[in-house]
Amino acid sequence: MSKLRDWLDHRTGYRHLRFKLIHERIPGGPKWRYVWGSSLAFTFTVQLLTGFFLWTAYSPSAQTAWESVYFIQHHMQLGWFVRGLHHYASQAMVVLLALHLLQVVIAGAYRPPREVNWWLGLSLMFVVLGLALTGYLLPWDEKGYWATQVTTKIIGIVPIFGPTLEHLLVGGPAYGHHTLTRFFAFHAGLLPTLLVLILVAHVALFRRHGVTHPKNPQGETTFWPEQALRDTLACLGVLLVLVGLVVWGGSEKGFVFGPEGGASLQAPADASNPYPAARPEWYFLFLYQFLKYFPGETEVYGAIVIPCVMIGVLVLFPFLGRLQWGHAFCVGMTFALLTGVLFLSVAAIQEDKADFLYQKGVADAQRKARRAIELAHSEGIPTEGAVQLLRRDPLTQGPTLFRDNCATCHRWDGHDGTGLPVVEIRNGKKAPMPPSASDLAGFGRQEWTSEFLKDPSAARFFGNTEHKDGEMAEWSKENIPLMSREEIDAVVAFLATQSQAAKIPPADPDLVLRGAEVFAFGSWEGAQACSECHTLKHPDIPMSGEEVPAPDLTDYASKAWLYGMITDPTHPEYYGERNDRMPKFSERLTPQELQLLIEWMWAEAHSLTSYRP
């Protein structure tokens, strides 16, 4: 080995290079405050290594990006761990960069002859932020897609050139496939190359000028071994924090060593489905909050002018530091900037905590993310892309369809189907809109039908409608007191068999038979039979052939019955010519949308949370 080392040194001179690297002079001895630069370089190395392995499985297109990240997270060997390290290391770089910047300013390492290195450090900061911004979009999930739009639209505010720059960055008038490919090219190609080149120049200049030591340092050592030990321990600490975040911070369930841990993956991005909780990532949150103080045409000052002035001041630090009080100003300015960033970020977080719509949007996004993963596991990803998983999912699309088409009149457990109250504008202010039809939550369940029979004029049913004192309400007042509890339960169980809901739970056959008798002939105490107003095709119920004033209850509350009622309530089997309010939704919704709505109503009504159509 000695001869081999001699031969290699004679050809390459590696011993001299090694000596130069590890025997750097450190006046004043080793210090813990010198570790931030090494920690930052180590974290970037982690980014390069994990990024390479992610690249081997990632496919940058609008129909394959989310799908490939899903594969990495749930099927690639330790893919969730590698992705988690990459995700949290990118955020750690932002934190370490801020600490390194603060340490450099306090030490005065920006002053001549180190001004060029200071400017290179500022360039590194913007490249790191660019890497964070471009990487955030690459999973092509809901959160990253909409958050990136919030951030990049700031570019469009730039006077004169803003719209053109935004168009070039986005790759067209709208976010899509070209946006993703351009961001990937920046994230995996241009920006890492720039960062490596700038970092090499930065380190070279650092070695040229040496460590910025205090005046009159006591003693002198070399980088090896004491400072090297401190740097190694600091890098190890960073690695342990990253691993801790991957196995603990990435999951709602606490410690998770598996695909449920690591970085989160939201539902696939869907441009047709706006995301109410769109926010930039936390390291850009201060700018998002800052813009709130500059409404309308003044937005350009908050987005462009003031940030550019602040950056200009940072660039001028080497010249300002020469003045008598220049260093104190630079240190105070740095602390003020970091304090302002922290204050604005905390203010944005506190406002979001108090924002009901934002919190609901986050909760809905988490629910959709779990649902997308569940469907991808059980059904696989269709060739049209993962976004179709949720577009074809009743549990995802049903609430939105109900909100947009039904909630004007109906309610679902008091809300619009998505969990929000239904409001209207009165005198320029939002006010609750009273329903004009029954609340459909639980429709078809035996509990719902039982309560309806006992009191159809209750607020939950016809209480806010013109039917409050109608024929059904009159029938209930006159006949329910004449029926025993067993007879009421029997009718309810019989009607449940029409919708197949009697299987949830299984119905008593004798009770169902008794219900058919009461429906057809009335109760023993003289209660009027249901068949005098309703028809129902059943072997135990005679058909008079006469027209009746109420809907046919054959297959009542089943999916087929609901489809017919919603599609065309004017059909003779439903309300016929008596219908004067409910529209024909066959003229408003496609057959697929109608089916999604009905499947959701059925699943929600019968509490089928793991429902499959």
pLDDT in tens, 501-551: 655 556 688 898 899 999 989 988 888 999 888 888 877 676 655 667 788
Q: What pLDDT digit, counting tens, does each position of 33-82 carry?
A: 888 889 999 999 999 999 999 999 999 998 999 999 999 999 999 999 99
Q: Give the residue from 357, 385, 417 where a domain finishes.
A: 357
Residue 497 located in a structural domain: yes
Residue 368 located in a structural domain: no
Residue bearing tokens 């924002």: 355
Q: Which of 141, 150, 146, 153 is nearest to 62 (CA)?
A: 141
Residue 366 located in a structural domain: no
The mean pLDDT of 590-601, rounded to a whole number, is 93
Among 183-187, 239-243, 291-295, 464-468, the minimum mean pLDDT is found in: 464-468
Name the helix (H) or strand (E) containing 544.
none
In degrees, rounded to 5, the angle at the alpha carbon of residue 506 between the alpha carbons of residues 500 and 507 is: 80
Residue 73 located in a structural domain: yes
pTM for the complete prediction? 0.84
Q: Is the pLDDT at 610 greater than 80, yes or no?
A: no
Write down the pLDDT at residue 154: 79
Write down the pLDDT at residue 504: 53
The mean pLDDT of 147-152, rounded to a whole number, is 83
Write down the pLDDT at residue 544: 54
Residue 26 located in a structural domain: no
Q: Is the pLDDT at 11 greater than 90, yes or no?
A: no
Name the helix (H) or strand (E) containing 296.
none
Name the helix (H) or strand (E) containing 497.
helix 485-498
| Structural tokens at position 40 | 């930052």
Q: What pLDDT digit, counting tens, does each position of 317-357 carry?
A: 999 988 889 999 999 999 999 999 999 999 999 999 999 88
- Indicate the residue type of 557: A
Same domain, yes or no, for 351 and 462? no
Q: Is the pLDDT at 572 greater than 90, yes or no?
A: no
Residue 430 located in a structural domain: no
Q: Give the residue from 338, 357, 376 where a domain finishes.
A: 357
Contact by Cβ (8 Å): 38, 100: no
Same domain, yes or no, for 351 and 458? no
| Structural tokens at position 339 | 């304090």
Q: Which residue has the higher pLDDT, 209 or 136?
A: 136
For the chain, how many structural domains are there in total? 2
Range of the domain at 303: 34-357
Same domain, yes or no, for 188 and 314? yes
Residue 65 located in a structural domain: yes
Q: What pLDDT digit, counting tens, does each position of 449-490 carry?
A: 999 999 999 988 988 887 788 889 999 999 999 999 999 999
Q: Give the residue from 341, 357, 373 where a domain finishes.
A: 357
Q: Is the pLDDT at 594 greater than 50, yes or no?
A: yes
Buried b (16+ CB within 10 A) or exposed e, 158-167: beeebeeebe
Residue 253 binned pLDDT confidence (cut-offs 50, 70, 90): low
Instruction: Measure the CA–CA gap between 317 and 303, rounded to whole angstroms.
Output: 22
Residue 226 binned pLDDT confidence (cut-offs 50, 70, 90): confident
Instruction: Measure the CA–CA gap between 114 and 118, rounded to whole angstroms.
Output: 6
Write down the pLDDT at residue 545: 54
The mean pLDDT of 266-279, rounded to a whole number, is 87
- The CATH number linked to 269 is 1.20.810.10
Q: What pLDDT digit, counting tens, does each position of 80-113 carry?
A: 999 999 999 999 999 999 999 999 999 888 988 8
Share of the chain above pLDDT 70, in %: 94
Instruction: Measure the CA–CA gap between 171 and 184, rounded to whole angstroms.
Output: 12
Buried b (16+ CB within 10 A) or exposed e, 506-539: ebeeebbebbbbbbbebbeeebebbbeebbbebe
Q: Is the pLDDT at 609 greater than 70, yes or no?
A: no
Residue 170 binned pLDDT confidence (cut-offs 50, 70, 90): confident
Write down the pLDDT at residue 564: 92
| Structural tokens at position 340 | 């302002």
Same domain, yes or no, for 347 and 485? no
Among 153-157, 292-296, 312-316, 359-363, the minimum mean pLDDT is found in: 153-157
Q: Is the pLDDT at 216 greater than 70, yes or no?
A: no
Instruction: Measure the CA–CA gap between 26 and 321, rounded to whole angstroms.
Output: 23
Residue 14 located in a structural domain: no
